[in-house]
Amino acid sequence: MPYTLGNIRFTGQYGPKALTSQHAARYANTALVGGGTVLQKTGDEPVTLDFEAYLHFSFINVAAAVLAFETAKASGAALPLSDDEGGQYGDYVITSYSVTRSQANPTGETVAATVAVTLLQYVDPDPAGTALRASASNALALSANNPIPAVVAALPLTDQGQVVSTTLSANSGVTAAAVLVDQAAIPGADSVSILSRASALYSDARRAIEATAAKLTEAQTLAGRVPGMLEAAQAAALVFSSAAEAAAAGDITNAKAQSVNAVASIAGVAAIGRPLFVNQILRR
């Protein structure tokens, strides 16, 4: 089965034969006077995943593939893992990998190898804060070179393309609005004007995500491929509406709270639809 780990895609002959998962619990072991013990569960250990992938120069650049694992391990980045059937496995870090080189060309370059990778589940201790920080970073990038509209414009006008494009448009508006809300809270800022702009962006995002929901409702086969995305989009539309109202009212405290909710909502829609997004953008 094809899998995607961050920006590393395993498909065809490169696809792992299987994923092995390990699930463990933690227990406190207390010895009783006179013999015996008391066990008390204290929690669960992060899930560990192991897999092997075969590399051969005939279908992949072996050196580049190995470098991708090294880069991901060195960065410590939490990478989302999914499959092409809509399965979402959560975020993982690469804790280790080993490379068994089985063939080299006359110049010594590895042309065939097997890589064994160990992943450890990453659980974000502050998802709302992470989402808000990511939205700020994304919005600053958008203000610099605005890549989202270029991607949207390049997508074909299929049902899948329209769902991806309207969702990306909603994401663009929400991330930009979140930065404006932060700017409005800076002492001396023209908060009324800034929040008014944020409110307009949230309203645009609501209309975009409503278009996503409408297309998913119309294209039932597509909705079936990404279960839960329709409901997430409909819920996000309500959140964006509340964010627009809070910003329009000029209430900084409520606007910031609604900003966090809006960012989390669009992140949820994107997480559910990630395989759809990857397939569509790679095919454009």
Q: Which of 32-46, 88-102, 117-131 has the lowest mean pLDDT?
A: 117-131
DSSP-derived pairing of the beta strands 20-22 and 25-31: unpaired
Give the pLDDT score at 284.
44
pTM of the model: 0.48
Q: What number is the average pLDDT over the span 29-41?
A: 84
* Nearest CA-CA partner of 24 in 7, 5, 44: 44
Do residues 226 and 273 make contact, with C-beta atoms less than 8 angstroms apart? yes
Q: What pLDDT score does 144 carry?
A: 47
Residue 209 scores a pLDDT above 90: yes
Confidence check: pLDDT of 7 > 90? no
Q: Which helix (H) or strand (E) holds 46?
A: none
pLDDT at 133 exceeding the cut of 60: no
Average pLDDT for the chain? 82
pLDDT at 153: 52
Task: Please give the CATH architecture assigned to the domain spanning 3-122.
Answer: Beta Barrel (2.40)
Segments of the chain assigned E as strands = 3-5, 8-10, 20-22, 25-31, 37-44, 48-56, 79-83, 88-104, 110-122
Query: Of 5-14, 55-64, 149-158, which has the strongest mean pLDDT?
Result: 55-64
Is 176 within 8 Å of 193 (Cβ atoms)? no
Give the tens place of pLDDT for each residue, 157-184: 577 878 888 888 898 889 889 888 888 8
Tell me the pLDDT band of 191, cut-offs 50, 70 and 90. Answer: confident
Instruction: State the pLDDT confidence band at 201, using cuts at 50, 70 and 90.
Output: very high
Q: Work out the widest C-alpha separation in the chain, in whole angstroms.
A: 75
pLDDT at 259 over 60: yes
Q: What is the pLDDT of residue 143?
A: 46
Q: How far apart, in whole angstroms, are the C-alpha atoms of residue 157 and residue 147? A: 19
Contact 7, 82 (CB under 8 A): no
Examine the pLDDT at 81 and tell me if it is beyond 80: yes
What are the residue boundaries of the structural domains of the chain, listed by start?
3-122, 127-283
